[in-house]
Amino acid sequence: MGAKTAMLAFTDGDLLPAVLGATSCDPAEAEEVVRRAHPGYEVTRVGDGTLFDRLYPPDDITYATVLAGAELLCDRRLVLDRPSELPEHLRAAGAGRRIIMHGMHSVVDWLCFAVWEDGKLVRSLSLSPDGGIEENVGEPYDFELPFWAGEHPVEPMPGWPDQGPYPLPFHPLQLGEEALRALFGFVVEGRPDPDDIDAEAVPLHGFRVTDPTGREQAEREADHRRVRQMMGPPRLFRMGPDGTMQEVSFDAL
């Protein structure tokens, strides 16, 4: 799986009809949505895209659109390890409305999704194999139930030695695709259903959104340095004669 998403939507009801009938909005309307999401930040236009290819923008980039009764943003800063910590100004923007968050990252098999109704968090789930269940608030939705019931266990990878049981009862990205379909109407990987929307037909306007103080960028660089320091040297594996994966040195290449 190679899926990554970072989406936050504000909607007057079910998001799917709004996305299904999406057309290109006025860029000024999209910019206003972005400015409300990032008050005090510098915002400039960049190239546009579609919902399918701009689900996980680079640092400091936001894609947005205004739909009939809904606003949708793609921005990595708007999805959180603990969705319950959504900033107050964003919760206030959803007063009287529904807020929907969805985030996935295939490198670490992380998933989060959350739904607020009129400012109240009714469901939040965030989990990964390394971090475990970071947040689990509210009653699971119907699309989750087979996963919690153990109907989608993670099978061992053929050939890899010393594999213990997967630390979660299901793969986060597999549930993430079901959450994406249920909440946003489409999937990134896997076979589309006939009723799925065409995410490539949903146009988005792009913006560079930066902290004018430089603080956010400096903190991000510091985090990157800490991660690089924590990472060990790369390891290489090759399939052996017995069909198992065996670690090899660089000199053996």
HEC readout, 213-233: CCHHHHHHHHHHHHHHHHCCC
- Under the banding of pLDDT at 50, 70 and 90, the label for residue 90 is very high
Q: For residues 112-123, give the mean pLDDT.
A: 96
Percent of the chain at pLDDT exceeding 90 = 70
Whole-angstrom distance, CA of residue 15 vs CA of residue 23: 14
To the question of pTM greater than 0.95 for the whole model, the response is: no
Q: Tell which wins on pLDDT, 118 or 234.
A: 118
* Count of residues making up the chain: 253
| 11-15: average pLDDT | 92
What are 218-234's pLDDT values in tens digits? 887 777 677 667 666 66
E strand map for 138-220: 203-210
What amino acid is encoded at 52 in this protein? F
pLDDT of residue 243: 63
Q: Is pLDDT at 193 greater than 70 in this prediction?
A: yes
Mean pLDDT of 190-217: 91
Find the domain containing 95 and state its range: 4-252
What percent of the chain is predicted at pLDDT more than 70?
85
Average pLDDT over every residue of 7-32: 94
pLDDT in the model for residue 2: 65
164 — pLDDT class (breaks 50, 70, 90): confident
Residue 203, pLDDT > 80, answer: yes
What average pLDDT score do residues 74-99 get? 95
55-69, 135-149, 191-205, 215-229: range with lowest mean pLDDT = 215-229
Would the pLDDT of 253 be above 60? no
**In sequence order, what are the residues at sequence separation of 6 or more whose Cβ sits closer than 8 angstroms to the Cβ of residue 215?**
none
Q: How far is CA 107 from CA 50, 128, 185, in A?
A: 23, 10, 24
For all residues of the chain together, what is the average pLDDT? 89
Q: For the chain, what is the domain count?
A: 1
Report pLDDT for 121: 96
Return the pLDDT at 156: 75
